[in-house]
Amino acid sequence: MPTTNLEKLKSVKDFARKDIFLCIARMANGRLFAGSSEFKVYEIDLGAKPDAKEIGAHESYVTGVAVAGSAIVSGGYDGKLIWWDVDKKSMIRKIDAHQKWIRRLRTSPDGKLIASTADDMVCRLWDAASGKKIHELRGHVEQTPNNYPSMLYACAFSPDGKFLATGDKVGHIVVWDTATGAKVSAMEAPTMYTWDPVQRRHSIGGIRSLAFSPDGQTLAVGGIGKIGNIDHLDAPARVEIFDWRAGKQSIEFPGDKFKGLVNQLWYQPQGEWLLGAGGANDGFLLFYDVKNKKTLRQEKAAMHIHDIAVSNSGDTIWAAGHGKIVVYELKA
């Protein structure tokens, strides 16, 4: 029986703040944690009186949070990974993980690994329990073709945890074997990268989100189309689907309603739909039927969405972004 109905999508609660929520993660027991532009890690209580209880702090923006058993791991622009005891609100360990800004953290499906990506163009795999470094994955160049610093925005584990995908600013995607650290496949999504050699000699865009299909056979890639004015996210939100083993794009959703970055992607577990979330000045939720190559629903959000957490069945979405956390339901 279906547990979700896109026609019934609605916002049921929001928690407004002055800061920006840049990342969000949800434990199996339902506890929510978010990272903020205030350099803080918070536990989010969305009860009758919504509140944010401080767990700890970084030295800059907190851009990633991930679940590590009964603990939380956070990463920030300070290049550090910090493990937190969420009950005691105390630090377990701090690691100098990257030399530049950390962009994304992800937990493997079995909960044993944490992946971190950063602008030093390295993805590192860590033992979630001990913090020990397992692999260092280097397959993204440090400079763009125009000799400017690149950025490594995104990573995602396959459903069986055997593979990890990473994506960078110029549209280069690599799939890795998590057991050996070996490169398995590579592909390109150049439409998601814009270089302007005339007005400002500047680039924008990049791979901002990745998600393997539930059967692990394809890889969804999110970003933005070619941008006319590089001072703004002035291009349609874009999603491409790859046969990652062959290294070839098979489907594209070029966007026809909203402009901005697809910052997050999430597959409904039975593959009924793919969710994309992001924004520019405004935000959006986009639902795709990948099998039939069609867009199912495009919904304006209350803010630019930076990250999402989704219930196992997909019937509840927690969206974190500029000045808000919004809860959506789409129950059958």
Closest of 272, 318, 265 to residue 291, by C-alpha:
272
Quickly state the pLDDT bin for 2 (edges 50, 70, 90).
low
First to last CA, the chain: 9
189 and 79 share a domain? no
The tokens describing 103, both together, are 């962009």
pLDDT (tens digit, 9 = 90+) per residue, 260-283? 999 999 999 999 999 999 999 899
153: domain CATH number is 2.130.10.10
| 318 and 283 inside one domain | no
Q: Kindly state the average pLDDT of the residues 28-54.
A: 97
Q: What is the pLDDT of residue 199?
A: 83
296 and 313 in a single domain? The answer is no
Cα separations in angstroms, 141 against 121, 137, 146, 202, 309: 7, 12, 12, 17, 30
Q: What percent of the chain has pLDDT over 70?
A: 99
Residues 6+ apart with CB under 8 A from 229: none
Q: What is the reported pLDDT for 4?
A: 85
Name the pLDDT band for 244 (thresholds 50, 70, 90): very high
Q: Please report whether residue 66 resides in a domain.
A: yes
Mean pLDDT of the region 190-200: 92
Q: What separation in angstroms does the CA of 171 have from each of 187, 240, 299?
A: 8, 11, 26
- Give the pLDDT of residue 200: 85
331 — pLDDT class (breaks 50, 70, 90): confident
- Residue whose C-alpha is closest to residue 163's, from 133, 128, 137: 137
Q: Report pLDDT digits (tens) over 89-112.
A: 999 999 999 999 999 999 999 999
**Domain, as residue range, for 207:** 142-301
pLDDT of residue 37: 98
pTM of this structure: 0.97
pLDDT at 95: 98
Query: Would you say residue 314 lies in a domain?
Result: yes
Give yes or no for residue 163 having a pLDDT over 80.
Answer: yes
Examine the domain organization and report whether 103 and 250 are in the same domain.
Answer: no
What gap in Å lies between CA 76 and CA 80, rounded to an integer? Answer: 6
Q: Is residue 115 part of a domain?
A: no
- Write the single-letter amino acid at 253: F
Confidence of residue 324 (pLDDT cuts 50, 70, 90): very high
Task: Please indicate, yes or no, if residue 69 is contained in any of the structural domains.
Answer: yes
DSSP state letters, 143-173 = B-TTSSB--EEEEEE-TTSSEEEEEETTSEE
- Neighbour-count burial for 274-303, b at 16+ CB within 10 Å, e otherwise: bbbbbbbeebbbbbbebeeeebeebbebbb
223 and 325 housed in the same domain: no
Per DSSP, the residues of 200-245 read S-EEEE---EEEE-TTSSEEEEEEE---SSTTTT-SBEEEEEEETT
Query: Is residue 192 in a domain?
Result: yes
Q: What is the mean pLDDT of residues 165-179?
A: 98
Residue 16 located in a structural domain: yes
Q: Is residue 135 part of a domain?
A: no
Q: Answer yes or no: do 291 and 174 share one domain.
A: yes
Average pLDDT, the chain: 96
Q: Which of 244, 255, 306 is nearest to 280 (CA)?
A: 306
Q: Give the count of domains, the chain.
A: 2
Q: Which residues fall within 8 angstroms of residue 198, CB to CB, at 6 or more apart? A: none
What residue spans of the chain are helical by DSSP H? none
Note the pLDDT of residue 190. Answer: 97
Segment 114-134, tens digit of pLDDT: 999 999 999 999 999 999 999
What pLDDT was estimated at residue 230? 85
CA 30 to chain centre: 19
Residue 299 contacts by C-beta under 8 Å, 6 or more apart in sequence? 9, 284, 285, 286, 287
Q: Are 52 and 89 in contact (CB under 8 A)?
A: no
193 and 157, same domain (yes or no): yes
The predicted structure's pLDDT at residue 332: 77
Q: Are residues 271 and 152 in the same domain?
A: yes
